[in-house]
Amino acid sequence: MNPTASSGRSPWPYPGPRPGDDDPAGGGQTIADVGEFELIDLVTKGLTENDQVELGPGDDAAIVRTRDGRTLCSVDILIEGVHFRRDWSSAMDIGRKAVAVNVSDIEAMGARPIGIVMGFSAPGDLSLTWVRYFIQGVREECDRAGVSLIGGDITKARDITISVTILGDVGPEGPVLRSGARPGDLVALKGRVGWAAAGLAALSRGFRTPKAVVEAQQVPQPPYGAGLEAARAGATAMIDVSDGLLGDLGHIAQRSHVTIDVHRSALGMPEPIRAVGQATGIDPYVYLLTGGEDHALAATFPPGALPEGWTVIGTVGESSTPGSWAVTVDGRPWEGRQGYDHFH
């Protein structure tokens, strides 16, 4: 089914096309061959819905129910060549990633995800096999996250572009904003940081090892359910780590008018990240402190309110002057960028 040693490439052990293979199953059908409406049927047929979805795909809009009338809304866009590459990630990986990065935003508000609306744009010569596995990845990650695909749109474009809008239910526990951190709070982390950035560094140099960090770059692993857990425990502020731990903690510090000090020793040093640092000549703490795309959750808690499974990585302090803020590492400013910026 996939190229083997005769082509100089090892067999691909996962379901769906290997990265870089559009249609390994043969047949040659493209999305232009089947057309827009059959493609919509492919996406929506047999979808499962959670108990907060009153009306799913099929009409001009979906209907969802919330517990107290407040609904969260967030959107993320994934563009081929910017957020993913088909020679690096399988179709299923990309489908899973499209869901995971959006659910993470709702988790970061201390809320429960309800449904996603997905816009999918692609060139007409994209293989139908690729799309089938992409949709399989979307559905699998929806099941993991407890969210339902409730609608969307499909159109033609030069590059594959995926826009996902997600709705969430705030409930009585939230929302947890970025502006609530207070001096004396503890800074805690749930999930991994640095792994996806190390994986990107490896892939950018033509390597597919260490496998653990490469897989972290291909598909993020947000700690599903941890956002609501943090809200119930009394988290004062929270954010998902999409652009780098220091940079994202900076958003909390700025909105809360506080200082945040990160304790480097509390992060540890996973061996796969250390190995990438040695291979690239880059301080591995650059990956841990400034690398994005893992979508861990970082939150602040009053002492004694920390939920099980969260790791304390720092403290919140008073700002030196009213309205000022800062993020430091072991009491000192971090030299260099604190995270990722699309335009810098």
The verdict on whether residue 224 carries a ligand-binding annotation is no
Strands 237-241 and 161-169: unpaired
Helix (H) or strand (E) holding 121: strand 112-122
The verdict on whether residue 153 carries a ligand-binding annotation is yes
The verdict on whether residue 105 carries a ligand-binding annotation is yes
The verdict on whether residue 205 carries a ligand-binding annotation is no
Strands 53-55 and 258-262: unpaired
The verdict on whether residue 274 carries a ligand-binding annotation is no
The verdict on whether residue 41 carries a ligand-binding annotation is no
Question: Would you say 100 and 137 are in contact if contact means Cβ atoms under 8 Å apart?
Answer: no
CA dihedral 201, 227, 257, 264 (to 10 degrees): -40
Nearest residue to 249 via CA among 267, 234, 229: 267
Name the β-bridge partners of 76. 164
CA–CA distances in Å: residue 210 to residues 108, 203, 279:
29, 10, 11
Strands 326-329 and 311-318: unpaired
The verdict on whether residue 152 carries a ligand-binding annotation is yes
The verdict on whether residue 283 carries a ligand-binding annotation is no
Strands 186-190 and 258-262: unpaired
Measured in whole angstroms, how far is the alpha carbon of residue 133 from the centre of its chain? 19
Q: Tokens 């199953």 identify what position?
A: 25
Whole-number CA gyration radius for the chain: 21
The verdict on whether residue 206 carries a ligand-binding annotation is no
Name the β-bridge partners of 151. 117
The verdict on whether residue 293 carries a ligand-binding annotation is yes
Question: Residue 132: CA atoms inside 13 Å, Cβ hemisphere, count?
Answer: 14
Percent helix, strand and coil across the chain, each to the nearest 5: 30, 25, 45
Sign of CA dihedral 304, 305, 311, 313: negative
Reading phi first (left if > 0) and then psi (alpha if -120 to 50, else beta), residue 35 is in left
The verdict on whether residue 51 carries a ligand-binding annotation is no
Q: Which residues carry a binding-site annotation for Mg(2+)?
A: 60, 74, 76, 105, 153, 240, 243
Q: Which residues carry a binding-site annotation for substrate?
A: 83, 293, 340
Q: Which residues carry a binding-site annotation?
A: 60, 74, 76, 83, 105, 152-153, 178, 240, 242-243, 293, 340
Q: Which residues carry a binding-site annotation for ATP?
A: 152-153, 178, 242
